[in-house]
Amino acid sequence: MNVFRLALLNVLALRRRLVGLVVLVAVAGAVCLSALGIAARAEGSTTSQVGESVGNRSVTVDSPQDRPDLAQLTRGAEARMARIPHVRSVQHRLQVSMPVRDNPEGADLLYATTVRAALAPPVVRAVRKNLFPLRKGEVVFPASTHGVDLGAMVGRTVTVDAHRFVRPGVGDTVSDRVRVVGTYDPSWQIEGPDAAYADDASVVRWAAAAAGKSPAEYLRTSGWDQLTLVADSSAHVPGVLGAVQRMDYPAVTLQQQLRALPGVLELVKVTGRVLLGVLGLLAFTGAVTVTGALARQRAQEVGILKAVGYRSRTVLGLLVAEMAVAGAAAALLGVVLAVGVTAAAAAGLRGVGDVAPYVPDAVPLPPLPAVALLALLTVAVVGAGAVLPARRAARMSPTDAMKDW
């Protein structure tokens, strides 16, 4: 009879004795597969959503206002930076004070700010679905400021003031009517706690008036407060940063503030490897223990096989094959369990707001080749763990095997 067929029949006959090993390896495999699957999806989502996000591909260039020897962030400087290799877009930022007269709670000093697509604020209320880019004469206020709720102002047209330079020591006020088209989460304070987003033309006009210049002259001489350069990939950010700094402009990147991110991703990978090692250790230990115990319990069976002419090599192969079959059953059961465990874990993680974007799949198992490889490794480890005790049993003489030992 074929050794593997005989091994399969023996496993079926000894299934109650092998159930402990099968369950142990199956549970370990399910946990390992689930953790690897979730970790792999989380790593992939982190790389795409964080590593290749607009923020992580951005270089922020500040205006060198304290360096009169350097050119300001004028339209000319913006055009030069746009020609840097691998720069996909250049987004400008300008901010100017803007008192609001029509606030029912009293005048509030807000700061009119241009909108950068890479750093658009999280809108909580709006008059239309796609709010950005803003149209001429539109503003977006913070939902609240200094304890005052500004939500009721959405849809209203209000009067805002801007300072106009006349001559040194002399100025007056320029008033404009603008429409409040939305409010944003006030915790979003990247542009400051009292930023009010407005269309570019209005902000430039107010800033130019404060400087006593025309809008065209202002952009040609004073320019923007800040520029954001968005690279085509995160890998090109250091090169873009170096090019900007060689122009003697102060520039930083979000990557420099997220240096721990690669370490976190590496920790995810190491965790997966540790889990694989734990699975291998459990499978090997379980196989050694169970095979040794079965060899002792089946000593007479081994003696009979040796007595009727089975060679030691054949007996060794039979015992190892039995453990391999048990390992295959454990691997298959582990995959089935992993599907359920992973689906439940993913459902739970998607209920956590900060984690949900990184667990997008319903059943985030590793790719099929990885699952098959892990199953084969499980069978191989269980079989390898059976070699030593099986070899000891196979080498026994028929006389010794028939004795109780």
| pLDDT higher than threshold 80 for residue 249 | yes
Residue 224 DSSP class: B
Q: Return the bridge partners of 206, or none.
A: none
Structure tokens at 333: 């059961």
Are 49 and 43 within 8 A, CB to CB?
no
Cα separation, 141 vs 153, in Å, equals 9
* CB-side neighbour CA atoms (13 Å) of 126: 17
Find the range with the poorest average confidence among 40-54, 111-125, 135-149.
40-54
Are 279 and 385 within 8 A, CB to CB?
no
pLDDT value, residue 137: 93
Residue 87 DSSP class: E
DSSP SS3 for 147: coil
Q: Which helix (H) or strand (E) holds 61?
A: strand 58-62
Q: Where are the domains of the chain?
A: 3-51+261-402, 95-222
pLDDT in tens, 329-365: 888 888 888 777 777 766 666 555 455 555 555 566 6
pLDDT in tens, 294-336: 666 666 666 777 677 777 777 777 777 887 888 888 888 888 8
State how far the alpha carbon of 14 is from the alpha carbons of 18, 27, 290, 302, in Å: 6, 20, 11, 15
| pLDDT higher than threshold 90 for residue 41 | no
Are 122 and 186 within 8 A, CB to CB?
no
Average pLDDT, the chain: 79
- Give which of 286, 283, 281, 305 is closest to 393, Cα–Cα: 305
Are 134 and 68 within 8 A, CB to CB?
no
Cα separation, 173 vs 163, in Å, equals 5
Structure tokens at 302: 């081994």
Q: What's the predicted TM-score (pTM) here?
A: 0.57
The torsion of the CA quartet 380, 384, 387, 390, rounded to 10 degrees, works out to -60
- Average pLDDT over every residue of 82-90: 94
pLDDT value, residue 23: 80
| pLDDT higher than threshold 80 for residue 91 | yes
- Give which of 263, 293, 396, 382 is closest to 331, Cα–Cα: 382
Phi, psi of 285 (to 5 degrees): -65, -45
